[in-house]
Structure 1
Amino acid sequence: MNTQFKAALLTEDTRFYEEIKAPSMEEQEIRLDVYRNNITVSLVEALCDIFPVTQTLVGDDFFRAMARIYVLNNPPSSPIIREYGQNFSDFVRNFEPAQSLPYLPDLAALEHAMLTLTHSEEYETLDHQAVSEAFASVEDPSVLSLGVPPTTQILVSPFAIGSLYQAHFSDGHQRLNQVDITKSEYLLLVKSHLYGQLHVIDKEEAIFIKNLMQEKTLENAIPESDAFDLGETLAKLIEWKILTNITQTKTN
């Protein structure tokens, strides 16, 4: 009965109607609609919590109307509500009324990625002293490998979605209009202090961190660019709590 009830709540399935005591099928449907509406409203509210920046940008009415259509066509596959909306960005990408905002799907994908990161495992990281001691312990720092959490992500977007995200959560909604959305961005996503953290970085920093993720030594991780500053980048990685270990490559 539970399976039929769930199907009836989120679809037009009528098999559960016979379980509802009412004088007519019309009355059965009216009574079931009460539950259907409660479930739909709850899932729409969940999407509002998961995608607050997207909601702010398109407005509450537009977002709720879009979310309702998504809910009716995408019932939850897990009882864990934070896992809902995994394919919401794909839905937005194909949602005709949102086509005038080409950056919206990427923003929605970023928001869900940040939520997922927040609920992922957090790893112990090195402080400034530990990093300094590791570098001082070797004659040639280029043989060192710098470890980062396996949940670390580097994203590249043709739009300034990272700046939009930061503007929403840091200085309020007024700065959203000041973001040049047409600028491409490199984004670093890490978990620190219990939450997913987002940092807008430059291309050289993105290349360097990507190389660290591939367990390359400093010699092979540093990008060939005069614009890259190793000391400044390491200072950022220490501050952002992203370095988990430093090991020395064995040489013959």
Structure 2
Amino acid sequence: MEEDMECETTGIHPHRVKAEKPIYDSEYYAAEALACDMDIPVIYSTGRNKEPIEEWLEKTKPSIIHRDDGYGWIHVIRSEDRRNRNDSDEIDVLGLQEAWENLEASEREICKDKIFELANNFRVTAGKWMFWVSTGGKGDYLWSLVAKGIVSGNTLAKQAKISASEMGKEGPDANEHVVCIYNDDFLDKDQVYESERTIRSLGIKCQLHYKPDVFTLLGVYRKNPWNLRPTIYTSNFDVIRNQSIIEEVG
């Protein structure tokens, strides 16, 4: 097991969101995501891990990594050479959040195009294709396809993650994992479509939804007060035609 997992836990994690009757709105989902981010990560990186990805996956199946033990996301990363990266490419999250606060305070209309403009200005252009899968054998298998695709270089994506299992959870996503598969620029439609194509090439046939990271960073989730849809594409796979049908949404 990775060093990230070698720690003492107490059963009930301090970051767990507690509510007797939670209201499943944007604030709830944002708090859940933040709690997951603050929990212990489990990470496989091609630049650090020496064991084969197949062996690591066997020890870190999502169905056996639990939120109640203090774990949040399980990550797989294909490392890249950052020596030639320009400093101007670095994202400015603090600048984005300050501009967002100013926009909210101005009481001007908040719309998708304005958020996309902020994302471009502050270089917060990453996004992810997402799907949900029940915990257990199916979830473990589909995650293994994604993880091996990332490591082998068979995807445009260089990074993916899956949420740890959370048995007994109530609400719309009860007993499900969410899988996020990233690409660099949600504003580049061709790149988004190519990322989807390489995900499908791994054998992932379930419905996919695409969400820009800027929505996540600004706390724009389902049932938000601005009536914004936080996903901008949906992909369904037509098994008979053996092809994807991608639609723009929102």
Give the structure, 1 or 2, with the largest relative contact order (CA under 8 Å, sep 6 or more). 2
Higher helix fraction (1 or 2): 1
Higher strand fraction (1 or 2): 2
TM-score tier, shorter chain, comes to under 0.3
TM-score (norm: length of structure 2) = 0.27
